[in-house]
Chain A
């Protein structure tokens, strides 16, 4: 089978490149892009296991190198950032009398367009830092570090990215000036749209996740609620205490959240999916359950993602 040859070939290139990766931020980033591009080109030919193994486990190693370097170099933020007033704003109300003409002075400040502006800030009207990650391909995206408490994040138009929203690794005392007090920041709400061939890894959240327009993605996520719309060919490893919703979807696979990553206290209903396009009797053809006792899933995938177990990304 030709795909075997292609994948073997790619595999050795990938391995060689990985070994050759020199320890400098620019080089690693460039290399990573090249690896990612190679991976993308070969994606169609690679068996699912290899794909995940490359994407998750091995790129993860590079990722941790990258983050180590980043703790020395100044990180280059990909987040739109604007420091406005704190989110702990008091309750506010605003209203107007219905009579035409009484519409006071309607402040016509233009709504800041949601965009991913690299590093620099504008849009001084926004309340607190805004985390919209959009229009990226072949990138590693980490949880933002300029957040506090439960934060919300928006992902839009990403392709071939790995988005890891686990809390950033705690810098250990040895790194001196970089030592930061443990962050209390926690991803609490996620909105995602138009993700292609992405891996999204999210810790178990208190709030909800809603996504739309996903294709060929792997989503590993815990949330109070999960909704997915207009998506296909996506695997979702989910921990959720309520019924997941799908609408206008096909070829979705739902499996359990890898419990070695995190062990929530409640039992999951990831297998109790409600399909809004399937009101008839019997099970919807648009989704399936990945049975962890199914050998095709269990060992390979568990192995492929087991490298993610030590969340601090410290390989030693």
Chain B
């Protein structure tokens, strides 16, 4: 049995996942995480360093690193890359002015060797805002369809209303679990409901 297999088995047994929340400042990363934990979101300050939190979903413990996206902090993102199972890239759907910055930062991440195996969930956040960019616009602006290096999905959500958060996280857990259990170990628990309007090309874990 190869070393990698052992590592994977151990990881699967501990049923833990390491998830990185990244994105430009003001995207809503911290707000999404607080909302998922049903905490107060009205007094959140911009993140000056990082926050760690855990979420239990579907029997998996997600160790989540939420790193500040302010320009000054972005060079430090790399300190958190090691053994990351999934990246959640949060986008402020109202931020037309910085959508191209957002795209190039994301490109930079995907080129990182240490993130090579990670699954990518893009949250088009703040969809509660009238006049926000749509999921399709954001997908194209970030040129997601050209990504072939990572498994990815983009989902609409609002940290204010909570819409879309659970669906996105469920997909992520299922997807990562499918990968961690890749060697025929026990299957993940309850399968997630595919979103009603999921695109045909939507990813599912390898059977």
CA distance A277 to B73 in the complex (A): 11
Scoring A90, A99, A108, A129 by chain B CB atoms within 10 A of each residue's CB, the highest score goes to: A90
In chain B, positions 108-142 with a C-beta closer than 8 Å to chain A are 126-137, 139-141
Interface size class of A (residues with CB under 8 A): 35 or more
Is there a chain B Cβ closer than 8 Å to A178's Cβ? no
Is the Cβ of B48 less than 8 Å from the Cβ of A87? no
**Docked complex Cα distance between A211 and B197 (Å):** 35
Q: Which B residues lie within 8 Å of A94 (CB)?
A: 135-136, 139, 144, 153-155, 198-199, 201-202
Is B164 in contact with chain A by the CB < 8 A criterion?
yes
Judging by beta carbons under 8 Å apart, are A112 and B148 in contact?
Answer: no
Q: Closest approach, in angstroms, between the C-beta of A168 and any C-beta of chain B?
A: 15
Contact of A307 with B by CB under 8 A: no
In the complex, what's the smallest C-beta–C-beta distance from A80 to chain B, in angstroms? 10
Bound CA–CA A227/B174 (angstroms):
36
Interface of B is mostly: loop
A153 and B92 alpha carbons, distance in the complex (Å): 13
Assess whether B1 is interfacial by the CB under 8 Å rule.
no
- Measured between alpha carbons, how far is A167 from B149 in the docked complex, in Å? 47
* B46–A274 touching, CB < 8 Å: yes
CA distance A104 to B98 in the complex (A): 28
Q: Is A193 an interface residue (CB 8 A)?
A: yes
Q: Which residue of B lies closest to A242 (CB)?
A: B45
Task: Flag if B96 contacts A132 (CB, 8 Å).
Answer: yes
A89 and B195 CA atoms in complex are apart in Å by 14
For residue A175, which residues in chain B have a CB less than 8 angstroms away from its CB?
none
Interface residues of B in 155-193 (CB under 8 A from A): 155-157, 160, 163-164, 167-168, 171
Beyond A87-B131, A93-B155, A149-B130: 8 further Cβ-contacts under 8 Å?
A93-B199, A96-B203, A103-B145, A111-B140, A156-B97, A191-B96, A243-B45, A243-B46
21 example contacts (A-B, Cβ-Cβ < 8 A) are as follows: A87-B131, A89-B134, A91-B163, A91-B195, A92-B197, A93-B202, A96-B152, A103-B148, A104-B199, A114-B96, A127-B134, A128-B130, A131-B131, A149-B128, A150-B130, A152-B94, A189-B92, A191-B95, A210-B25, A224-B42, A242-B43
